[in-house]
Chain A
Amino acid sequence: MSAGYELLGARGLAVDLNGTRILHDITLAIEPGERVAIVGPNGAGKTTLMRALSGALPAAAGEVILCSEPIQNLSRETIAHSIAVVGAGISLPFATRVDDLVALGRIPHGRGPSGASAHDRERAAAAIERVGAAHLVHRDVRTLSAGERQLVLIALGLAQETPILALDEPTAHLDLRHRMEIADLLTSLAGDETIMKTKRTIVAIFHELDLVREHFTRVLLVANGTIIGDGTPASVLTPALISAAWGISPERAARF
C-alpha cells in the first residue's frame, strides 16, 4: 500500500435522520488489518455510524473516505466490492437453504442474468467452511438457531470477498458460549489475507466490554452522537469514559 492510502475514514462527518442530527463531528481513520469495536449506549448512533461508513446513509456534513475516495464518488457496486455489512438479523420470505443464501453474497461479483456460477458456489462453500458451518449447508436458514444463523450471516458477508467486514451487533441474542465463539471467529478472520493483499479489517458493534478488551485492537466509544474515545481498549475503556458514556457512577463503571 502506498503512503497516504486511506482504507476507511471520516472527516467532520455529520449524519441526519428525518431531519434530526444523529451524528456530528466524527473524524477517524481505520487501517487495514485493524479489529475495531464500536461500543456505546443504546441510541448513541452506533448503527447510524456503521451505515454512514458503508455508504447506506448520506453525510449531512463532512465526508466518508473509502479506499482513499470520497464515498459519494463511488458507485454502489464499487462500495460492495470494498465493504460487506452483516446486518443485525435477517428475515427471509421463502424457504432458503444455507448454501443458496450464502451464494447471494456473490451478487456484486456476478455478471449477466444467470444465477450463481460454479465459481460463485465454490466461493460460497469456502465461506461456509471458514465459519465452521459446513454441516448446515442443506438446512433451511429459517430453522437455524440464533448462533447458527449468525455464523451463516457472517459467511454471507465473507462470500462478498471484501477487505472490510462490518458487523452490526453480531453477538445480539446469543448465549455466553456463542458470544465467545463469534469473538474468536472475528479475531481469526482478521488474520486472513483478503483479495486486496492486506489483512481483513473488522469493524463490529459490540456490547460485551470484556470481549472487546480481549479481541479487539481498537475501540470507538460513541456517546451522544459523536466519538468520545478512540484508541486501544485499555486507553478507552476506563472508568471515567465508561461512566461518561453510559451515565453510571465511576464506582460502578470500574466494574466493567
Chain B
Amino acid sequence: MRTRRLAIGGTLLLVIVAVTAIGIGAVALTPGEVIAAIAQQFGISVGSPVSASTSSIVIELRAPRILAAIVVGAALAVAGGAFQSLLRNPLADPYVLGTSSGAALGAALAFLVPISGAAWELGGVQLAAFVGALLSVALVWRIAGIGSGEERIASVLLVGYAVASLLAAALSLVMLTSGANLRAIFGFLLGGLDGASWPRLAAAAIPAVAASLALALRGRPLAAFLLGDEAATHLGVNVQRERKIAIALASLATGAAVALAGLVGFVGLVVPHLVRLMVGPDPRAVLPLSAIGGALLLLIADTLARTIGVPVGVITALIGAPFLLWLLQRARAGYAL
C-alpha cells in the first residue's frame, strides 16, 4: 500500500538526515564517525575506536537536540492533523485552543521569577510553559463546554481565538515590564531548540510521544469525524467521548512540544496538508505520515537554523508560509484545500 511505502521511505530518510545532521556543526563529523559514536554508546564497536571528544560532541551536545527536533516536529504535526480533522477545519493548527499564548505567558512569567537553583535551571521555564499551555486549553474546554453534549465546533474555534487573544494581551503587558528578560521571552516566542539536553528532552518527550502515539492509534473515530458528528454517530462512534479524548491528547502533545521548543509555527499546519495531498484525508494514514514528515521538516529547519544562527521558528515560517500560499494557489487550480 502507498501509505506503508511512504512510511518506510520517510523513516529511512529521517534516519539518514538525522545522522547527517549530527555530523554538521563547528566540528564536522562524517556519518561513519557519528554511527561509530552512537554504536559505542550501546557497547558495539564499529570500525576504529571513537575519541572521547567526538563521543561527547555526538552524545552530549548534538544527539539531544536532534532528537528534540524529531519529537517536537512529530508531535506538532500529529496534533495539527488531529485538530484539523476533529474540528473539520483546514486552518486549524496545534495552537488552535490558545496553547501558544498560554505557554508563552507561562514562560514569560517564569523568566521573571527571581529564583535560581538546580531544579529551576533544569526546566522551570519549560514546566511553566507546559502548565500555561494546559491551563489555556482547560479554559477553552470549560467555556466552550467541550464534552457537555452542547458544544459547537465553530464555538470551540472562536472561544480558542478569544482566549488566545486575552492571554496574548497579558503576555504583552508582561513583556513591557520585563526589562532585561525581554530577549529571553522573545526567544521563546520565536521557537528554538538551543536548550535541549537529555533531562529536558526526556521530560518533554515522554508525554509528547505517548500522546502522539495514542492519537495515531485513535485514527478510526477521527476518520469518522470527517463526515460530521451525525454521520460519525451512525458509523458507530461515541462522538462526545472521542472528541474529548482527541482534544486532550492533541493538547498534551502540543503542550509538551511547546515546553521543549517554544513557539514553532507552520509545522503543525502545513505538514498534514502535504500528507493529505499524497494519501487523501483519512487520519489513519495522515497522522502516522505527518509524524514522520513533521520530524523531517523540523530537523532540516533546525539544522539550517543552527548553521546560519537564526531561531528555528523563523526558518519554519520561511518554508511554511510560501508552501501554504502554494497550496492555496493549487486550491484555485483544482486541489481545493
Q: Which positions in A face B, CB cutoff 8 Å?
A: 51, 54, 56, 75-81, 83-85, 87, 90-97, 100, 103-105, 107-108, 110, 113-116, 118, 140, 142-143, 156, 160
Check A107 against B335 for contact (C-beta < 8 Å). Answer: no
Instruction: For residue A251, give the distance in angstroms from its CB to the closest CB of chain B.
Output: 40
State whether A97 and B280 are in contact (beta carbons under 8 Å apart), knowing that A76-B236, A113-B219 are contacts in the complex: yes
Total residue contacts A-B, CB cutoff 8 A: 99
Which residue in chain A gives the minimum CB-CB distance to B282?
Answer: A115
Nearest residue, chain B, Cβ from A113: B217
- Is B31 close to A, CB under 8 A? no
Alpha-carbon gap, A92 to B219, bound state (A): 17
Q: Residue B270 at the A interface, CB < 8 A?
A: no
Are B217 and A100 interface neighbours, CB within 8 A? no
Q: Is B62 an interface residue (CB 8 A)?
A: no
Q: How far is the CB of A98 from chain B (nearest CB, A)?
A: 11
Asked whether A94 lies within 8 Å of B234 as measured between CB atoms, the reply is no
State which of A87, A94, A113 has its C-beta within 8 Å of the C-beta of B284. A113
- Residues of chain B having any CB pair with chain A under 8 Å: 1, 3, 84-85, 88-90, 216-220, 223-224, 226-228, 230-231, 233-238, 276, 280-282, 284-285, 334-337
Beta-carbon contact of B281 and A90 below 8 Å: no
| A79 to B234 Cα, complex, angstroms | 8
Among B85, B226, B236, the one with the most A-chain Cβ atoms within 10 Å of its Cβ is B236
B284 partner residues in chain A, CB cutoff 8 A: 113-116
With A93-B226, A104-B224, A107-B223 as contacts: A56 and B281 at CB distance below 8 Å: no
Asked if A91 meets B228 with Cβ closer than 8 Å, knowing A100-B280, A107-B237, A113-B284, the reply is yes
A94 touches B285 (CB 8 A): no
A142 and B216 contact, Cβ closer than 8 Å, known pairs A76-B237, A93-B90: no
Q: List 30 A-B contacts (CB under 8 A).
A: A51-B230, A54-B234, A56-B233, A76-B238, A79-B234, A80-B236, A81-B236, A83-B234, A85-B230, A87-B230, A90-B231, A92-B226, A92-B227, A93-B90, A93-B281, A94-B90, A95-B276, A95-B337, A96-B281, A97-B280, A100-B282, A104-B224, A104-B226, A107-B220, A107-B236, A108-B236, A113-B284, A115-B284, A116-B284, A160-B235
